[in-house]
Structure 1
């Protein structure tokens, strides 16, 4: 795998992601009526690993990008929408399909979809990215980070308010040790990304540093003319899996 420090091999691990995947979660009620009733229709979600090609050894918990190409198209669309909004990711330009695949599938990738699935083979293919819009909830990657790991997270904007950030964050803390990483650091959580900062603090990540003017984001400030760009600080969050226990309640 490639990192800012060159190619770094994925750590060796005897553990299997099949011990925690597929991972199931209950979504937060999406309306006042749901909250009063204490439930909502189709409020279950399932987290799968995502790989470039099919594998016989992990086919029960891994979706294949080659079999679900339209799912990758939908993820690409969600990611570029966030880049264009310009508050959370450092990219100054939207990514091509090839760039996105290299960026999000360059390490270990995971995707949360609506529905209660026991096996990845139960997830049917869809004809277009638009057909995934109702079911694609969020996704994240895990990559080497000299040589601990880093993570990048994305929530489908049409499904905000369902507690997806917490679901993805807790899943991250469960899968990372199984992959073999001993610690994780989020290098650049921009202070404009208020929701993420609140989430990592709430989940118990250590706040270990601040990088002044780390991001030049199109959604922040004024840098001349009509361009809405500005420099923002970034906060660094850390989790040491050898000294910080993942709370038992994060199992679900």
Structure 2
């Protein structure tokens, strides 16, 4: 659900309040449907603060998602450097499984972990519009193969609703929720979002012979 005014090579600057508040956010702990304990780590200091091998893993999986052609509007994957800045350049969150060798908290973001096993997903938070409208935010969500059927999307959505207001954002807009992505729509409706618009025949998707409508989904964060 990338920002309407954004492409991978363009970044809208976050409000000053969001930049300062981001450094104060602490990791959030949650339990999945299968009782797995996870920690959701805020990334407030850019891609350099994320383990290189984790960024590489997420880039690889996100590239596969783009090539599948059903959830994001891009047609071709971006290179690693572009992805690093696109996803982690403003503010992001990474969901990792707690294991016996890692103390939940800051210690989980370290090289050497088996990312295919412990990384369940990630999302970013960015302004949806520039300048005087930058208090309206947008987010992009991605779950990994290890997350399937475990309720990770719902946990990341709950974390988004906790973190976004703390960053100073007042309203959330998702510009391109494809109408045939029913699983995603169910999550957002459960979390209090509403359809505030529709773009007819907005997308050429690999999982549909017909052009698919895009829903615009919003929620007050105040």
| TM-score (normalised: structure 1) | 0.74
Query: Is the contact made by 2:96 and 2:108 (CA closer than 8 Å) also made in structure 1?
Result: no
CA distance in 1, matches of 2:98, 2:206: 35
Q: Secondary structure at the match of 1:189?
A: strand
- Counterpart of 1:74 in structure 2 is 57
1:235 maps to 2:221: no
Query: What RMSD in Å do the two structures reach over aligned CA positions?
Result: 2.3
- Counterpart of 2:40 in structure 1 is 47
| Deviation at residue 4 of structure 1 after TM alignment | 1.3
| Deviation at residue 100 of structure 1 after TM alignment | 1.3
Query: Is the contact made by 1:3 and 1:144 (CA closer than 8 Å) also made in structure 2?
Result: no
| Deviation at residue 20 of structure 1 after TM alignment | 5.3
- Counterpart of 1:4 in structure 2 is 5
- Counterpart of 2:110 in structure 1 is 124
Query: How many residues in Structure 1 have an aligned counterpart in Structure 2?
Result: 207
1:155 maps to 2:143: yes
Q: Secondary structure at the match of 1:13?
A: helix
1:95 maps to 2:75: no
| TM-score (normalised: structure 2) | 0.84
| Deviation at residue 18 of structure 1 after TM alignment | 6.7
Query: Is the contact made by 2:11 and 2:86 (CA closer than 8 Å) also made in structure 1?
Result: no
CA distance in 2, matches of 1:53, 1:91: 21
Structure ranking higher on relative contact order (CA contacts 8 Å, 6+ apart): 2
| Deviation at residue 205 of structure 1 after TM alignment | 0.5
Higher Rg of the two aligned structures: 1
CA distance in 2, matches of 1:216, 1:101: 26
Unmatched segments (≥5 aa) in structure 2: none
Q: Where does 1:1-252 land on structure 2 (aligned, <5 Å)? A: 4=5, 8-13=12-17, 16-17=21-22, 21-29=26-34, 39=35, 43-50=36-43, 51-52=45-46, 64-65=49-50, 68-115=51-98, 117-126=103-112, 131-146=114-129, 147=134, 148-221=136-209, 230-242=210-222
